[in-house]
Amino acid sequence: MKAKPVSASALDNQVHGLTPKDFNSSWTMSGGVVTALLDEKAGAVVRRHSGMNCVTLSFDNIRFKKPVSCGLLIFNAAINRVWDTSCEVGVKVFVEYPGADLREHIASAYCTFVTGEMIIEKVELNGVAIQQPRFLPKPMPKVVPCTKEQRRRWREANERRAKRLAAAKN
């Protein structure tokens, strides 16, 4: 499996236009909507890099800096590091106000994904045979950091992973 540069799968300035369904009764965007879009964009980066299906394993350090009430959401996302079947994706979300020439950083997160394939297993549950889906992890290509910033994110991703693994043991 040949390693790929970060830029081969990164999203840069991906636009999401807001619609009334994106807002709550206070006419601000729900954090859940932002999180779902963030997950969708990060997953697209992983699928593009690996060529496989993926599942979200975790989010860490998601921060909402300010509420959003109008504008366009802009997403930047890239794989920071790959470890065999899992990887970390860093995502930044901005709001851009058309006509005002203003862009503000509203949220950031690190997402961990696992790549693989879905298989169907026959299992017995309370004496009844059922078919149950199971995700079978598969290795993905490594990522090659090419810029100084990408190399920094690559190094720091390993530190975050160590903390995630330690927390998972508790």
Question: What pLDDT is recorded for position 22?
Answer: 87
Quick check: helix, strand or coil at residue 169?
Answer: helix
- Per-residue pLDDT, 21: 87
d(CA 55, CA 20): 29
CA-angle at 90, arms to 84 and 93, nearest 5°: 155
For residue 13, is it left (φ>0), alpha (ψ between -120 and 50) or beta?
Answer: left
CB hemisphere CA count around 72 (13 angstroms): 15
Taking the CA atoms of residue 37, residue 75, residue 110 and residue 85 in that order, the dihedral angle to the nearest 10 degrees is 80
pLDDT tens per residue across all 170 residues of the chain: 899 999 999 999 999 988 888 888 888 888 889 999 999 999 999 999 999 999 999 998 788 898 888 889 999 999 999 999 999 999 999 999 888 888 999 999 999 999 999 999 998 889 999 999 999 999 999 999 999 999 999 999 999 999 999 988 87
- Which CATH code is given to the segment(s) 4-169? 3.10.129.10
Residue boundaries of the structural domains of the chain:
4-169
The gap between the terminal CA atoms of the chain, to the nearest Å, is 34
Looking at residue 10, what is its pLDDT? 97
pTM: 0.89
